[in-house]
Amino acid sequence: MTYLLRRLPLSRLLLLCGLVVALGISATALASALSTGPTPPRKPLAKAVHDALAGASGSQIQGVSANIQLTDHLLEGASLASGGDNGSTAGQLASSPLLTGASGRMWIAKDGRVRLELQADKGDTQVLYDGHTVSIYDGASNTLYRYTVPAGKGDTSATPPPTSSDHHEVPTVAKIEEAISHSDHANVSAPTPTDIAGQAAYTVRVTPKEPGSEIGAGELSFDAVHGVLLRAAVYSSTSSSPTIELAATKISYGPVDSSAFDFTPPHNAKIEEIVPPKKEGAKPTDPSSTHSGDHPHVSTHGQGIATVAVIESKTKVGAKQSPSSMTEGLQKVKINGIEASELPTALGTLLSFERSGVRYLLLGAVAPSAVEAVAKGL
């Protein structure tokens, strides 16, 4: 290189130097343009959280409107993605913007109502919460999924909305420090000053203390002044890039018109009611519902973030064993001689099989070998 520089005529050497300087100035200007938002001063975590909560309480936020970007690499390389053209449930899920990533918008009202809209070529996805019910509409499959939050767990009449702290006293720095110190399963980093969507923000990284998980870390970025969450990301244990990330790209604070939360699915949309498994011994609230003995049994194996959950449910008597639309197209493995469907992802594994009239569903934030080992011991 030195030899080549010596052989260059003086005129060309000066031109080369000028180009290097120009590129350097352009790169510096570009970097400045990409990071024009304010950054807050460095603070201890407890102080940063306290000041953000105090700011949210003092400003009395009336609502939030934001442009968002969802990044999702969870199913990259998974066999689920190969089912996209066969019309199966797995294939439809694989094409959903919730699993492929998309840009969109989000609104949060002062009373706690939320709407998230993700745009996609095959149909937009809508996620809504009205304080009582979570609704997810998938435009690609024209299906509306609904889940009613149990009383006392999400009723906004009893719980203050996330955008306002009017009815809450801001905890002291000492109380926040105490809560952070009692984190037995995770390490929490000091806040890193940054800017998100043009807002001064802090980013905190959380890493699990226990080994054996496919989850490497999580990051949260919150508005240093308003206390609003601006970004959330989950990292796998094998990558420095986020596997799933939801971040605001533009945000504004102020009242949100009630019409922003109006959504009516097409009249021919399929409606799926999501009913969680009932606890053992719980009495059915609907006389026409299945008997308590048919409710799924849930158990766990392992500790902390490496826990594997096992859900056991009885299959219908006389029903022929056939692959469901959900598991069709997944890779197959053998569990004690029985064929099982397996979905390995960047953040964990799901495995399903049937034996002696019982369907087993195992899931955990661990490698396939760990889930298979639990399955073989059932």
Report pLDDT for 185: 82
Question: How confident is the model at residue 92, as a pLDDT?
Answer: 59
Q: Where are the alpha helices (DSSP H) in the chain?
A: 2-7, 10-34, 45-59, 89-94, 97-100, 173-181, 368-376
**pLDDT confidence of residue 89:** 54
User: Could you tell me if 364 and 370 are in contact, meaning their C-beta atoms sit under 8 angstroms apart?
Assistant: yes
pTM listed for this prediction: 0.75
Q: Is the pLDDT of residue 248 over 90?
A: yes
**Which of 165-179, 180-194, 248-262 is least confident?**
165-179
Percentage of residues in the chain with pLDDT exceeding 90? 51
Residue whose pair of structure tokens reads 């001064």 in the numeric block: 200
- Segment 196-225 mean pLDDT: 94
pLDDT single digits (tens) 329-346:
688 999 999 999 999 999
pLDDT, residue 378, reads 92
Task: Write down the residue that tokens 């969802």 correspond to.
Answer: 70
Separation between Cα atoms, residue 119 and residue 125, nearest integer Å: 7
> Taking all residues of the chain, what is their mean pLDDT, rounded to a whole number?
79
pLDDT of residue 296: 82
pLDDT at 304: 87
**Residue 173 pLDDT > 70, yes or no?**
yes
| 46 vs 121, more confident | 46
Cβ–Cβ under 8 Å, residues 107 and 256: yes
Question: What local confidence, expressed as pLDDT, does residue 98 receive?
Answer: 81
Domain segments of the chain as ranges: 45-270, 289-376
Highest average pLDDT, of 56-60, 204-208, 320-324, comes from 204-208
> For position 318, what pLDDT does the model report?
54
Residue bearing the bigger pLDDT, 204 or 316: 204
User: Is the pLDDT at 103 greater than 80, yes or no?
Assistant: yes
pLDDT in tens, 279-329: 544 444 444 443 445 678 899 999 889 999 999 988 865 555 444 555 666
CATH architecture for residues 289-376: 2-Layer Sandwich (3.30)
The matching CATH number, chosen from 3.30.470.10, 1.10.3450.40, 2.50.20.10, 2.60.40.10, for 45-270 is 2.50.20.10
Chain centroid, CA 314 distance in Å: 31
Model pLDDT, residue 169: 82
What is the structure's pLDDT at 140? 84
Distance CA 139, CA 95 (A): 10
Q: Do 203 and 192 touch, CB atoms closer than 8 A? A: yes
Position with higher pLDDT, 278 vs 359:
359
Whether residue 83 is predicted with pLDDT greater than 60 in this model: the reply is no
pLDDT tens for 133-164 read 999 999 888 899 999 988 765 554 444 444 44
Fill in the DSSP letter of residue 294: G
Of the ranges 179-188, 272-281, 283-292, the best mean pLDDT one = 179-188
